[in-house]
Amino acid sequence: MTTARWPEEFESLRAEARQLAEALGSATPQEVSEGDDAAVVAEGRAFVAAAESTAPTGRDEVVAGVPCRAFEPVGRDALGTYVHFHGGAMVYGSPRLNDTANEALSEQLGVRVVSVDYRLAPEHPHPAGLDDCVAVTRNVIDGGSPRVVVGGESAGGYFAVQTLLRLRDLGLADRVVAANLAFGVYDLSGTPSFRGARASSVPDVLHPRWIDLILRLYAPSRSREDGRDPEVSPLFAELQGLPPALFTVGDADHLLDDSLFMAARWEAAGNGAELAVYPDCPHAFTMLPTALAARANERIAAFLAAAFQGETLPAR
């Protein structure tokens, strides 16, 4: 696994990342009110929906009974399929959060992209959203795509790992060649950084109390301690037999430890793992117009390109 320390060239890019994170943090509602979950969900959905957009070449499709957004490379056969899961704390968002990025990725890499519009909590708590993600991925595998990669951001990283664990137990994990895991949440009981013991003082769009909201809405029957059940927290699962993965995270992210811990356990279980940490970058930083975000997205694209072209990735 590559070191968590960033290249020296990133030091000159930290000021820009910090400045934008501070501006974003001051404009983002971080506190989570207690006792009015419906209002919190409504406010959060409106905030996230404002970041959504619709890319011209995207199509609404139903795959295995699940609504999705799909992109095809223009004028050439696809090298494979990237099954993508959007972020949003299992409660917010849709594939259109990543429509523009997925359109660009499809064309750049020459792959089909299928982004899953999985069911959201609290209307559909665990395991509804995961069931949707697994159903779509199995459909893609059964459809004979040359190569299949899964990935996502935040909650999407969570669903990617959970989907791989389900596929492994079904004997299908070897049909997925790689996983792109960006600032995912893997411990619903709360890692130290998510509980507030952070490595950076840069403001983040997340707040430590969000973990209580996620657990309450997504897995309502579970306490903090119950949140360590591997069924809902993949950090505590047996991780053998999974494909190579790239873990991307900023050191100002409350989910920093989720990636640090999962990348270490991923590798210890015998899987290939790359860990890329970016200084002074908050949660969801890859969507921001900074030089460090550009570096992160370039590395992600290179990792995906290698996977779809059959090049050597970190060993299992």
Active-site annotation holds for 253 = yes
Which pair of tokens denotes residue 45? 């959905």
75 SS3 class: coil
Q: By C-alpha distance, which of 47, 284, 69, 261 is closest to 156?
A: 284
Residue 198: CB atoms within 10 A of its CB come to 18
Active-site annotation holds for 77 = no
Contact 286, 293 (CB under 8 A): yes
Type and span of the H or E element at 45: helix 37-49
Contacts of 226 (CB under 8 A, 6+ apart): 189, 219
Alpha helices in 110-243 (DSSP H): 128-142, 155-169, 210-218
d(CA 46, CA 171): 40
Contact 244, 315 (CB under 8 A): yes
Beta bridge partners of 278: 250
DSSP class of residue 285?
Answer: G
Catalytic residue among 154, 200, 233, 259: 154
Active-site annotation holds for 154 = yes
Can you say whether residue 200 is alpha, beta or left, with left for phi > 0 and alpha for psi between -120 and 50 degrees? beta
159 SS3 class: helix
Residues involved in catalysis: 154, 253, 283
